[in-house]
């Protein structure tokens, strides 16, 4: 049995006596399985804490060196937060079968694991966290090194918060030649390094200038929109999403934790996330759910059609009403909804979508959103469902085959994980992924920021450029001082 490590009086107790006893049993079981099969496995134990640390703050503040970390929050949804630190197990895949491959790797990992039965809120227990790129092959741009086409990690430590409860999960990889004593020491060392310090604040008066540069001139984006409209009017396409890349050069290294802290305060209804790999961190405040699976229920949303916000409530309402009546935006939303329904139908008893979209308002922009739900007929996990839906016309093209060929040709850039997705899955295949929008990739003093617009037959290049500027305003203020 693991003895509690010596701690300072102000150090939280992460595992109580019952959880430590269970962890000891899980470690012994994992060692037995590893020695019997010759394959490494995971010991996993989960416990509800008697204190309520901030999961994101603990993970961001306890990172050792450049080890991977993931944080995903949606503050207005029961204060939900899921954060993971370190790697007990890694899953990577690429190519046209990347989702099927990752799902199979995850199922094999779960079968081998010596884990506690499911308990606690969604995201508690044995989970894999991470995301995937827009395209099925590796990103070629050097800033995206460390972010493969699909990458999930089982963290050594994960914390999940729901309402007023926080649950901790410890995952330790066991090999046949490990000893119980060595694994126990690793657990104690990992837990002793956890810190409960607040997320740092952004410097309100940084020394030195910030520089914001478009990777391509704005006219390049307008020309791409015009060419796309020509293809749509010729019947080659129904819709395509085109994006821009903007760089922010800061006088010193960007602080990912401080950026994340500001985003979660400003965009409480959004999915706010950070995925750290090496010296880089991918951060975002995304309004869009790709898919959520809860047992045999799947839910998603067709989010397409946008308008700016106004500080004047009357003007803001007027802009929203105009968006609800915009034929161009309603068509764009309907295209996305139809494709999602078609994609889910072969896997479902029924699929239902709202007849008309509603307004979803975030801090600086409002969208048309149409909720879609499905009762699943077979048993695809959330990873496979993500593969069924990605890329929706909200980030790709209709027809989908045009996305891989035309989007890079028209944009002239490498999207990397932008318009991919970030999320998690548990041992039962439940979980959720959000679309990676309103995001930036931070690496030292440089941040690469992305925003895109849906192009249909009535799109105007100048109007789409203006919409991209509004969308960039979600992330730029957190990076450019």
Distance of CA 445 to the CA centre of its chain: 23
Question: Are 270 and 285 spatial neighbours (Cβ–Cβ below 8 Å)?
Answer: yes
CA atoms of 379 and 298, how far apart (whole Å): 11
Q: Which is the catalytic residue, given 73, 156, 184, 239?
A: 239
User: Two tokens at 341?
Assistant: 């329904």
CA atoms of 295 and 375, how far apart (whole Å): 9
DSSP 325-370: T-HHHHHHHHHHHHHHHHHHGGGEEEEEE-SS-EEEE-SSEEEEEE
DSSP 94-136: -STTHHHHHHHHHHHHHHH-EEPPP-SSTT-SSEEEEEE-SSS
Secondary structure tally for the chain: helices H, strands E? 12, 23
Task: Report the half-sphere exposure of 187 (CA within 13 A, side-chain side).
Answer: 32
Q: Which is the catalytic residue, given 73, 184, 245, 288?
A: 288
Active site includes 471? no
Active site includes 328? no
User: Two tokens at 354?
Assistant: 């709202």
CA atoms of 280 and 444, how far apart (whole Å): 7
Question: Are 299 and 371 spatial neighbours (Cβ–Cβ below 8 Å)?
Answer: yes
CA atoms of 19 and 2, how far apart (whole Å): 10
CA atoms of 210 and 450, how far apart (whole Å): 18
Token pair 């080659």: residue? 236
CA atoms of 84 and 454, how far apart (whole Å): 33
Question: Are 71 and 83 spatial neighbours (Cβ–Cβ below 8 Å)?
Answer: yes
Catalytic residues: 239, 288
């Amino acid at each position: 049995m693991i003895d509690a490590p010596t701690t300072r009086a102000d150090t939280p107790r992460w595992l109580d006596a019952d959880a430590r006893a269970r962890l000891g049993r899980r470690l012994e079981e994992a060692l037995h399985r590893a020695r019997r099969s010759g394959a490494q496995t995971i010991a996993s134990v989960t416990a509800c804490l008697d204190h309520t640390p901030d999961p994101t703050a603990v993970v961001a503040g306890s990172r050792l060196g450049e080890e991977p970390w993931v944080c995903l929050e949606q503050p207005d949804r029961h204060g939900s937060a899921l954060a993971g630190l370190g790697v007990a197990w890694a899953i990577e895949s690429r190519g046209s079968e990347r989702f099927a491959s990752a799902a199979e790797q995850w199922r094999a990992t779960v079968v081998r694991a010596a884990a506690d039965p499911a308990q606690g809120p969604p995201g508690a227990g044995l989970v894999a966290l991470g995301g995937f790129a827009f395209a099925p092959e590796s990103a070629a741009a050097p800033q995206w090194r460390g972010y493969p086409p699909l990458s999930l990690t089982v963290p050594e430590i994960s914390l999940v918060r729901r309402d007023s409860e926080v649950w901790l999960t410890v995952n330790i990889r066991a090999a046949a030649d490990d000893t119980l004593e060595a694994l126990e020491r690793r657990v104690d060392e990992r837990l002793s390094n956890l810190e409960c310090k607040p997320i740092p604040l952004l410097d309100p008066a940084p020394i030195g200038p910030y520089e914001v540069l478009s990777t391509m001139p704005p006219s390049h984006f307008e020309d791409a929109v015009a060419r796309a409209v020509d293809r749509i009017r010729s019947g080659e396409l129904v819709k395509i999403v085109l994006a821009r890349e903007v760089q922010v050069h800061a006088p010193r290294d960007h602080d990912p934790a401080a950026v994340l802290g500001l985003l979660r305060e400003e965009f409480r209804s959004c999915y706010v996330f950070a995925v750290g790999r090496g010296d880089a961190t991918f951060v975002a405040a995304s309004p869009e759910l790709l898919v959520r699976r809860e047992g045999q229920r799947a839910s998603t949303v067709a989010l397409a059609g946008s308008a700016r916000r106004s500080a004047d409530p009357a003007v803001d309402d007027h802009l929203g009403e105009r968006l609800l009546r915009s034929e161009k935006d309603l068509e764009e939303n309907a295209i996305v909804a139809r494709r999602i329904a078609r994609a889910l139908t072969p896997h479902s008893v029924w699929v239902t979508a709202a007849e008309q979209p509603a307004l979803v308002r975030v801090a600086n922009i409002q969208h048309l959103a149409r909720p879609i739900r499905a009762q699943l007929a077979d048993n695809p996990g959330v990873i496979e469902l993500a593969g069924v839906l990605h890329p929706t016309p909200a980030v790709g093209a209709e027809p989908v085959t045009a996305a891989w060929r035309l989007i890079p040709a028209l944009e002239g850039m490498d999207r990397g994980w932008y318009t991919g997705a970030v999320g998690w899955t548990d041992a039962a295949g439940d979980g959720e992924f959000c679309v990676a929008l309103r995001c930036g990739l931070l690496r030292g003093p440089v941040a690469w920021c992305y925003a895109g617009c849906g192009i249909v037959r009535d799109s105007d290049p100048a109007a789409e450029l203006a919409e991209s500027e509004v969308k960039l305003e979600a992330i730029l203020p957190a990076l450019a001082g």
